[in-house]
Structure 1
Amino acid sequence: MQQAVFEGTHLQTGDLLDIRVSAFDEYAVRPFNLQTMNQVGNNESKISQSSQSGPQGYLVDEEGAIIFPVLGRIFVKGMTMSQLRADLEKKLLEYLSDPLVSIRQLNFNITVLGEVKKPGQYTSPTDKVTLLQALGMAGDMTDNGDRTQVKLVRHENGMDQTYTLDFTDKNITSSPYYYLQQNDVLYVQPDANKKIIANVNPNRTLVFSVIGTAIALLSLIIRF
C-alpha cells in the first residue's frame, strides 16, 4: 500500500506566516527580519510591512501577496511554503551570500463538524495535518457517526468542492486528500439508524394530523 506524499499546503489569502532569515553575517541579515528591522533605519520597509501584517507575521493579502522588508511586494498565493522558501532565498542572494529562510504558518485552520465528540474549528501549530489527526482533534466520531460517508469540503479554484471519504478503507492513508489544506472542513454524517430516528417526514406529520382531526370529529358525531 502506497503512502500519501505530503507536498505542502498551498498558500491562500488570509494566511499568516512567520518568516525568518538567517545568514553568517548577523548584522547584514537584520533588515530582512521583522524581529530586528526596527533596529535598522529602513523606514520604507518598516512602514510598508507594518501596514500590511503588523508585528505578528506576514499576512497574505486579498491579492495573494505579502510585503517583505527590502524585497517589497511578493506574490505568494498558490505556492507551497517550500516553494516560497526557495523563491525568497534566490531573491536574497542579491543582498546576502548565504541566506537561509525558515517559514512557519501561524494560523493553519481546519473545521470538524457533525457526529464528532468535540465539533469546532482547530488551529494547528503545523500545516502537516492528516485526516486521522483532524478526527483526533475533534475527539473521534460518536457512536452514531458514519465512517464510510465523511465529507471533505475544500476551496479550490474559487469554488467549494466536496469529496466523500471512507475512513474504514485500509487505503485511506494513500488518498490524495489524506493531508489537509488550509480551511478544509470535515463533516461526519450520522449513520442510517440515527437518520431514521431524526427523520421527520412533513407528509407523514400531515397524515397523522388529518387522522387525528377525523377521529376527533367522529367522536363528536357519536356523542351527539
Structure 2
Amino acid sequence: MNKSLYSPKSLVFSILILLLISSCGSRENVVYFQSAKEFETEVNTNTFTPRFKVDDVVAINVSALDLETTRPFNLLAGTGDNAVSLDYLIDKDGFIEFPVLGKVKLLGLTPTEAKDMLREKLSEYIKNPIINLRLNNFQVTVLGEVNRPGTYPVTGERITLLEAIGLAGDLTIQGERKNVLIIRDFNGVKTYSRVDLTTKEFVNSPVYYLTQNDVVYVEPNKGRVRSSGLDSIDTLTISIGSSLVLLLVSILIR
C-alpha cells in the first residue's frame, strides 16, 4: 500500500480542496426565475402603447364650460370644500362603475382610447365634455443586483428600463448586464423577456418602455455566484476546518 497517499501533506491538501469546493456557490442556489426561459417570449415589434389592466386604479375627471352639467359624472367623497375625487378600480372583468353611465369597460384600452370612448358616451349629456384621465397605481419593481432594490411609483404615463434602473441606483458591479429579465403581467398571463444592456439595440426592445407593475430582475454575474458560497459558509464549518488544517500543519512542522 502506498503510504504517501495518506501522508499529512496529502490530508492537508485534501481538506483544503474540500473547503474550496464547499465554498463555491452554484447558479441554481442563487439566481431567481431560472425556469423562466421555458416561458420567454419574443416580440418582433418595438412599438409601445400602455393599456389598462385588471386592478388598475384610474382617476377620471369630467369638465366642461357648463360645470353644473358635469357634477353627476364626477365621483366625489365629502361635501363642499372638503369634497375629494375618488378613483375607479378596474374589476376582474375589466369594468369600472361610472356615475350615470353604469358599467364601462376599460380593460385593454389605451388612455387615449378610454378618453375618446368616455367623451362619446358623455356627449349625450354634456356639451363638449373634457376628459382628464390618469393611472394612479403605476409602479415598477427592480430586484437583484442593483444598489436600491424595491418598488417605485411612476408619476408619468410610462417609464423606460434605464429610468427604472436609475431609480434603483444603477446595477452593482456584480450585476449581469447581458441578461436582464423583464417580467410583465397582463390579465394573469405573464411574459418573460431579456435584454442585453451592453448593446445599443436594447433601446428598440418591446420592453424598453415598461408598463405598470413590470418587474425588472438583474441576476448576479458568475463572479458573484461563486463568491456567494463564501458568504454562506456556516461559521462553525469554517472554525472546524481551520482547526483541522492548523492541527495537521503543526504535525508537518514537527
Normalised to the residue count of structure 2, the TM-score between the two structures is 0.68
For residues 156-209 of structure 1, the C-alpha deviation after alignment (integer angstroms, 9 at most, x for no partner) is 463222111111111222211111111110000111211222258xxxxxxxxx
Give the match for residue 82 of structure 1: 112
Compute the displacement of 1:96 (Å).
1.2
- Separation in 2 of the partners of 1:107 and 1:58? 11
How large is the RMSD of aligned CA atoms in angstroms?
Answer: 3.1
User: What's the secondary structure of 1:112's corresponding residue?
Assistant: strand
Q: How does 1:44-193 map to 2 (within 5 A)?
A: 56-156=86-186, 158-193=188-223
Aligned-residue identity in percent: 39
Letter in 2 for 1:82: T
Letter in 2 for 1:99: P
**Residues 142, 215 of structure 2: 8 Å contact kept:** yes
Compute the displacement of 1:13 (Å).
1.4
Normalised to the residue count of structure 1, the TM-score between the two structures is 0.76
Gaps of 5+ in 2: 1-45, 231-240, 249-254
The answer to whether residue 45 in structure 2 is matched with residue 15 in structure 1 is: no
> How many residues are aligned here?
195
- Separation in 1 of the partners of 2:56 and 2:86? 12
- Structure 1 residues 37 and 78, CA gap change in structure 2 (3 angstroms): farther
- Separation in 2 of the partners of 1:120 and 1:112? 6
User: What's the secondary structure of 1:74's corresponding residue?
Assistant: strand
Find the structure with the greater CA-based Rg: 2
For residues 39-94 of structure 1, the C-alpha deviation after alignment (integer angstroms, 9 at most, x for no partner) is 8xxxxxxxxxxxxxx95301111221101111111111111111111110010111
- Separation in 2 of the partners of 1:170 and 1:181? 21
- Separation in 1 of the partners of 2:88 and 2:135? 10
Gaps of 5+ in 1: 40-53, 201-211, 220-224
- Separation in 2 of the partners of 1:75 and 1:127? 20
Q: Which has the higher contact order (CA 8 A, sep 6+)?
A: 2
